[in-house]
Amino acid sequence: KQEVTQIPAALSVPEGENLVLNCSFTDSAIYNLQWFRQDPGKGLTSLLLIQSSQREQTSGRLNASLDKSSGRSTLYIAASQPGDSATYLCAVRPYSGGGADGLTFGKGTHLIIQP
C-alpha cells in the first residue's frame, strides 16, 4: 500500500526566504505526482504536475523535482511571500491503474510566511 510522507509538518519563516518542502513515497511505481495548496476552508489548487518520466517542473516561483527511483519529490518556493501561506499537499497517482486511479495524499506541510 502506497504511503506518502511530507516533511516538515509545519514551517514558519520570514518573508523573502527560499523554501524546500519534502515529499517521499514508498512505492516508486507511480503514474505522476502532483503538488497542491489548500487554503483554510477552501478546496485544493493544483500547483504542479510531474509525469513519471520527468525530473522537474517549474511555474513562476515554484519548482518541483521528482526522483522516482528513490521515492522523493521536493517543492522549492523562491522568494516567499505572505500570500504563500497555506497547507501544501503532495499526492501520487499509481501506475497500476494506467492513470485512471485516484490519488494518495501526504498529510501536508502547513506553511506560514511572516511579513
Shortest CB 107 distance to other proteins, Å = 4
Site for other proteins (CB under 8 A): which residue of 75, 103, 111, 113? Answer: 103
Site for other proteins (CB under 8 A): which residue of 13, 15, 31, 95? Answer: 31
Shortest CB 38 distance to other proteins, Å = 9
Shortest CB 91 distance to other proteins, Å = 7
C-alpha span between 92 and 95 (Å, rounded):
9
Cβ atoms of 101 and 95 within 8 Å: the answer is no
Shortest CB 6 distance to other proteins, Å = 9
DSSP category for residue 39 = -
Mask for 73-102, x = binds other proteins (CB under 8 A) = ----------------x-x-x----xxxxx
C-alpha span between 86 and 83 (Å, rounded):
8
C-alpha span between 74 and 63 (Å, rounded):
8
Cell 486511479 locates to 101
Nearest CA to 27 among 74, 68, 75?
68
Residue ranges binding other proteins (CB under 8 A): 31-32, 34, 36, 41-46, 49, 51-52, 89, 91, 93, 98-108
